[in-house]
Amino acid sequence: MNLAAIHLAVLDWYAANGRDLAFRRTTDPWAVLVSEVMAQQTQAARAAEHWTRFMAEFPTPAALAAASPATVIRAWRGLGYNRRAVALRAAAIRIVEDHEGRVPDSLEALEALPGIGPYTARAVLAFAFGRPVAPIDTNIQRVLDRALGPLPVTARALQSTSDGFVPLSDPAAWSHALMDLGATICGPRERRCQACPIRAWCRTANGRSAAAATGPGEPGRAARASAPAFPSTTRWLRGRIIDRLRDAPDQAWVSFTQPLGEHSVDAVRLQIDRLARDGMLELGSRTDLCRLVTSR
C-alpha cells in the first residue's frame, strides 16, 4: 500500500470537491465542538445553517454557560434531539469551571465533558488542534474498510488502525475528505467508483472484497440523516411538547390537557415527566403545567 500516494490523491480530491460547510472555515475549538455536537445526529448541511446563528448568540463557552436552559433549547430549534442542547450547555459550564473557559486539548479531558464521546473528542482534536487522530463516523469507517481494510472489529484496534492512516501534515482535511467521500462517492448502497480518487488502491473496487462496514456505536458527524419522526413515535411527541414550550413567552407556564397527535393525555404527561428528568422542562403546581427550565 502506497499510503503517501493515497494521502495525496484524497487531499487533492478534497481541495477540488470538498463540501463548503460553514464550520469547516474555523479551527476555534469551541466553534468546532459546537458543530460536532450539532452534527452528531443531523445532516451536516442542515447543522451548518443552524451553527452560524447559534455561534452568533453563544460565541464562547462562558456565553452558553451563562444562559438558561430555556434560552439554549429555544436556540436549538430545528436541530432535533434536544437533549444535546442541554448536554452542550453542561459541557460549557464544565469548561468554564474546570478549564478556565477554554476547550481542553486532551482526549481524556474532552471525553470527561457531558455529552462528548470518543468520536466528538477526536473530531475536536483533529479539526481544532491538528492532532493526527481519526474521528471514526459511519462514512469514514465505510470508506476505510472498503478501500484499505479489512478493519479490525474491536473498538481499540479499529481506532489504532484508523489513526495509522492519518497524514501528519493535514489530519483535519484527511478526515473531512473521507467524510465527503462516504457521503458523495462511497455510499452505503451505491458506489461511484469511477469518480473515487483512491480507486486504484481500493480492494473493493478492484474485486478483492465486497465488504461494507457498519457504523460505530457513537453517532458521528454527517454520517447519516436523522430518521423521520412520525406522529405515532415518542420522539415526535417529545418534539411537539418542546415546540409548544418554545413558542410560549419566557417563563410562562403551559397547560397540557389534550391529546397530542395520536398520543393520549396520559402519554403526554408521561413524556413531560421524562423531559423533566432530562433537565429540559420543569413542572408546575398542577400536573398539567410545565415550562422550559428557566434557572441558570
What's the CA angle centered on 140, arms 134 and 145, to 5 degrees? 105
282 is known as an active-site residue: no
Q: Which of 36, 57, 190, 262 is catalytic?
A: 36
Pair 14, 180: CB distance under 8 Å: yes
**Radius of gyration over every alpha carbon of the chain, rounded to an integer in angstroms:** 21
> By C-alpha distance, which of 35, 230, 245, 9 is closest to 126?
35
Tell me phi and psi for residue 141, to 5 degrees: -60, -40
Separation of alpha carbons 162 and 281, rounded Å: 41
The SS3 of residue 151 is coil
Task: Specify the residue for cell string 452505503.
Answer: 188
Let me know if 128 is exposed, middle or buried by CB neighbors in 10 A (0-12, 13-18, 19+).
buried
- How does strand 289-292 pair with strand 254-255? antiparallel
Name the residues annotated as catalytic.
36
